Amino acid sequence: MVKRDFETAMVSMGSRGFKSKSAKADMDNGAILTNISTISKTNTVIIGNGPSALALSYLLHGNEPWYSPSEPHPDPVLHRKLLKKFGLSPLSDSQQDVRLYDILRTPKDCNDITSHFPASVSMSYSTAALPLNTLLDTLFRPLVDVDMEESMSRVGWRKTDSDVVPHVILGEEPKAGGQWAGDEVWFGDEDDEESDNGLKTLSYADLLSLPGYSLGDHYKQKYHTDMDPYYRPTRRLVAEYYATYPRKVGIEDVLFPGTSVTNVERINDKSGFNFLVSIKLKSNSGSTSHEAHVIRCRNVVLGTGIFSHRIPPPPVFTPFFKRKLDLELKERTWDNSSAPTNTSKTAQLPLLVVGSGYTAADAILCNQGKRPIVHVYRWDPENRPSPLRGCHPQAYPGYAGVYRQMKDAVFKKQSPTDGIYQGFPNAVVAETRGDGMVTLSIKSEDGTNKETAIRVADIEVCIGRRGRLDYLAPDLCEEIGVQNLDYSNMESLNNTRESPSPLALSRTATSSRRYSSRSRKPMLHPTTSDTAGKVWVRCSSLRERVEQNIEVTANVFIIGSLTGDSLVRFAMGGCVYSAGRIISDNTPIIDSSDSSTMMSETSSMSESEDPQKLSEGKARRRKSKCVVV
Ligand SMILES: Cc1cc2nc3c(=O)[nH]c(=O)nc-3n(C[C@H](O)[C@H](O)[C@H](O)COP(=O)(O)OP(=O)(O)OC[C@H]3O[C@@H](n4cnc5c(N)ncnc54)[C@H](O)[C@@H]3O)c2cc1C
């Protein structure tokens, strides 16, 4: 098997904490080297290579989930319903296993099985998650919130060739794992690996596991000892686990990391391959996309998540970031000897962190002890409490510590971190300048506003993350009912003076940019020419649609955090339902232009049907209807 070398792409990012991982992990991005441009048709394209995409691929590789009544689920009502749905009697058929695809054929099936959840007396089911996701969660981990050690899966796996569906996983990140593989998640320093600095996962390890090879299996293989059920792993370990997973369960053949989907559109084609998926490959060395290619498929699965992009900093930060960008570009054009280095004076200047959530806390934890921190955040415990408030000091010492510092600053209490951490609750960033000067407007007790100027070395604006669906053609966006986001809801408006119009936001120097982990060069998220703006999505954006059906429109499925349930433990519902639908629809289609080819199989391009040309022709005819920012 050929491994790609991504070591160069993972160089140290210093205080931001994006340090290079072990050479072995860098070498293994979980995929085998196949040229995507040799693939022109396949049954299903999964977009995004996060945990849900990997789980779905496991199913489409012919691993069938079965409910085995010999170990009944602890909820007797659920147990009865599962058997009844399959036409079995709990009394006489208690040994016959039930294939989950057969009892979850339609949204109504799911409603029938889960209708008692809200009123259940024997179990306490999540009312926040989709019933479908709650159902699969409780089948895989019954009573896990009550007793993790006693929780035993009621789902068994059977391998079958008849359920194998040709598919590919296309993901921007250079490794399997989605956001866990990207540079948008803080990892902490390599030497903080086992420290309690807060950069451990929010979930216990087992709740991040995927079928076939669990995080516990990975832990055992790595440390040669069993994992504690209440272990919370470091983010680095989770990233490594997801990167290793495809090879361990044998799905690496369909994985294409470093592949950006730039356009998905529906066409009318009697062969049934009704989607054109345009992609661009990223070069190994960095960020720029090159080499366009189009794949035709019958089903599209959207697994691109809701955390792929940080909300861009509002325009008040533009002078600072523009200057920073200019300096970085200049530095890159000079040789090392003449490049300006941080003077000791600059190194002592604080980092300004804006925001009150987990990402802001991550930024603080990653920098604490290395340089002073100035923290500007909203403090409104009555109406919009920080999510950090719910972090118990024993379970999440890092986050609880940051919350305590924020609270101490509100009540002007002495704190052991005075001098290292300075909190400004409800202050507003009134101005930033290229030389690092920042003006804060602070409301004093008598209600008047006081302005304070400070000089900072760097700024982290952590006001939330969103996903983007720019890659869907406007017609498809409309068909799916994507609700584009309104910026008026953003936290930034509380902490910055301006109320920028969405258009102004998208025009700021940093607004639409992400940074490659290697070069920190700004790069544009691929955007189709028709969808010139950005289609931002959050947990609620597709929620109403997926509540009706995971298949939001014919042959388009939503999985993972895009469903609105962001935790990995809730990913299996959408995956099992989508897999069942895709598998039941996987009848081979004979291509009229070549009757010897089984078109349901991944195949190479035929010149007469060059999808690139089809796509171009269609694009010219299409009118832009999508709501864009
Ligand atoms: C800081 C942080 C900590 C978290 N901690 C936990 C935790 O402890 N436990 C837990 O259960 N969940 C946690 N989550 C929630 C997280 O949503 C899930 O862990 C999980 O990653 C969701 O998986 P997903 O399959 O939806 O895809 P994601 O992991 O969101 O990955 C989607 C991928 O699609 C890619 N993509 C986007 N657009 C395109 C395109 N056009 N072409 C190709 N690829 C594209 C993105 O770059 C991204 O890599 C955390 C989230 C964050 C932000």
Nearest CA residue ID for atom 27, ligand 1: 50
User: SS3 letters for 519-547?
Assistant: CCCEEECCCCCCCCCCCEECCCCCHHHHH
Would residue 506 count as lying in a domain? no
Within 8 A by CB and 6+ apart from 273, the residues are 41, 296, 297, 298, 589, 599
Nearest CA residue ID for atom 1, ligand 1: 185
Regarding the beta carbon of 261 and ligand 1, being less than 6 Å apart is answered: yes
Per the structure, the complete domain to which residue 112 belongs is given by: 69-153
Can you give the pLDDT at residue 447? 80
Nearest CA residue ID for atom 20, ligand 1: 568
Can you give the pLDDT at residue 15? 23
Would residue 559 count as lying in a domain? yes
Distance 530 CA to ligand 1 centre (A): 26
24 in the same domain as 168: yes
Residue closest to 453 by CA, chosen among 604, 352, 589: 352
Q: Are strands 465-468 and 536-537 parallel, antiparallel or unpaired?
A: antiparallel
Would residue 492 count as lying in a domain? no
- Give the neighbor-by-neighbor strand order of the sheet with 373-377: 421-425, 373-377, 351-354, 458-461
What are the Cα distances from residue 545, in Å, to 359, 539, 542, 557, 558?
A: 29, 12, 5, 11, 10
Nearest CA residue ID for atom 2, ligand 1: 185
Distance 309 CA to ligand 1 centre (A): 10
For residue 51, the ligand 1 atom closest to its alpha carbon is 25
Regarding the beta carbon of 173 and ligand 1, being less than 6 Å apart is answered: yes
What are the Cα distances from residue 518, in Å, to 17, 18, 19, 182, 462?
A: 13, 10, 10, 11, 21
Bridge partners (DSSP) of residue 309 are 466
For residue 525, the ligand 1 atom closest to its alpha carbon is 41
Helix (H) / strand (E) element for 579: namely: helix 571-584
Would residue 515 count as lying in a domain? no
Quick one: 169 exposed, middle or buried, by C-beta within 10 A (0-12, 13-18, 19+)? buried
Model pLDDT for residues 109-151, shown as the tens digit of each residue: 999 999 999 999 888 898 899 999 999 999 999 988 888 888 8
Distance 454 CA to ligand 1 centre (A): 35
Distance 182 CA to ligand 1 centre (A): 9
Give the end of a domain, one of 153, 187, 219.
153
Regarding the beta carbon of 563 and ligand 1, being less than 6 Å apart is answered: no
104 in the same domain as 50: no
Give me the residues of the chain with pLDDT under 70, please.
1-34, 90-94, 183-198, 283-291, 334-347, 414-418, 483-533, 587-629
Regarding the beta carbon of 170 and ligand 1, being less than 6 Å apart is answered: yes
Nearest CA residue ID for atom 30, ligand 1: 305
Give the end of a domain, one of 461, 496, 517.
461
Can you give the pLDDT at residue 629? 19
For 239, the 3-state DSSP assignment is helix
Would residue 513 count as lying in a domain? no
Distance 52 CA to ligand 1 centre (A): 9
For residue 202, the ligand 1 atom closest to its alpha carbon is 8
445 in the same domain as 473: no
Would residue 268 count as lying in a domain? yes
Residue closest to 68 by CA, chosen among 156, 158, 138: 156
Distance 467 CA to ligand 1 centre (A): 9
189 in the same domain as 147: no
259 in the same domain as 209: yes
Distance 326 CA to ligand 1 centre (A): 31
Regarding the beta carbon of 171 and ligand 1, being less than 6 Å apart is answered: yes
391 in the same domain as 323: yes
262 in the same domain as 123: no
Can you give the pLDDT at residue 284? 61
Would residue 498 count as lying in a domain? no
Quick one: 260 exposed, middle or buried, by C-beta within 10 A (0-12, 13-18, 19+)? middle
Regarding the beta carbon of 52 and ligand 1, being less than 6 Å apart is answered: yes
In degrees, rounded to 5, the angle at the alpha carbon of residue 246 between the alpha carbons of residues 232 and 537 is 70
Number of domains the chain is built from: 3
For residue 570, the ligand 1 atom closest to its alpha carbon is 11
Regarding the beta carbon of 509 and ligand 1, being less than 6 Å apart is answered: no
162 in the same domain as 146: no
In degrees, rounded to 5, the angle at the alpha carbon of residue 313 between the alpha carbons of residues 311 and 319 is 160
Can you give the pLDDT at residue 86? 84
Can you give the pLDDT at residue 94? 67
For residue 173, the ligand 1 atom closest to its alpha carbon is 49
Q: Are strands 41-47 and 289-302 parallel, antiparallel or unpaired?
A: parallel
Can you give the pLDDT at residue 34? 62
616 in the same domain as 626: yes
413 in the same domain as 267: no
For residue 468, the ligand 1 atom closest to its alpha carbon is 38
Helix (H) / strand (E) element for 47: namely: strand 41-47
Nearest CA residue ID for atom 17, ligand 1: 566
Regarding the beta carbon of 208 and ligand 1, being less than 6 Å apart is answered: yes
Torsion of CA 238, 239, 240, 246, to 10 degrees: 100
Regarding the beta carbon of 357 and ligand 1, being less than 6 Å apart is answered: no
Spatial separation of the C-alpha atoms in residues 190 and 12, rounded to whole Å:
10
- CATH number of the domain that residue 328 is part of: 3.50.50.60
288 in the same domain as 229: yes
Regarding the beta carbon of 295 and ligand 1, being less than 6 Å apart is answered: no
For residue 568, the ligand 1 atom closest to its alpha carbon is 11
Give the end of a domain, one of 111, 126, 153.
153
Regarding the beta carbon of 560 and ligand 1, being less than 6 Å apart is answered: yes
- Packing angle between helix 215-223 and helix 235-249, nearest 10 degrees? 100
Asked if 492 and 313 count as a contact pair (C-beta separation under 8 A), the reply is yes
Can you give the pLDDT at residue 102? 95
Distance 444 CA to ligand 1 centre (A): 40
Pocket test for ligand 1, best of 186, 207, 566 (most atoms within 8 A of CB): 566
Within 8 A by CB and 6+ apart from 67, the residues are 73, 82, 97, 98, 100, 103, 139, 154, 155, 156
Contacts of 136-140 with C-beta under 8 Å, sequence gap 24+, read 136/100, 136/570, 136/572, 136/573, 136/575, 136/576, 137/569, 137/570, 137/572, 137/573, 138/73, 138/75, 138/78, 139/67, 139/73, 139/100, 140/569, 140/572
Would residue 326 count as lying in a domain? yes
Q: Concatenated DSSP letters for 243-301? A: HHHHHHHT-GGGEEESEEEEEEEE---TTS--EEEEEEEEPTTSS-EEEEEEEEEEEEE
Spatial separation of the C-alpha atoms in residues 330 and 336, rounded to whole Å:
11
Regarding the beta carbon of 398 and ligand 1, being less than 6 Å apart is answered: no
229 in the same domain as 95: no
Asked if 178 and 263 count as a contact pair (C-beta separation under 8 A), the reply is no
Regarding the beta carbon of 172 and ligand 1, being less than 6 Å apart is answered: yes
Residue that has been written with the tokens 């209490």 in this structure: 413
Regarding the beta carbon of 624 and ligand 1, being less than 6 Å apart is answered: no
Regarding the beta carbon of 539 and ligand 1, being less than 6 Å apart is answered: no
Can you give the pLDDT at residue 588? 62
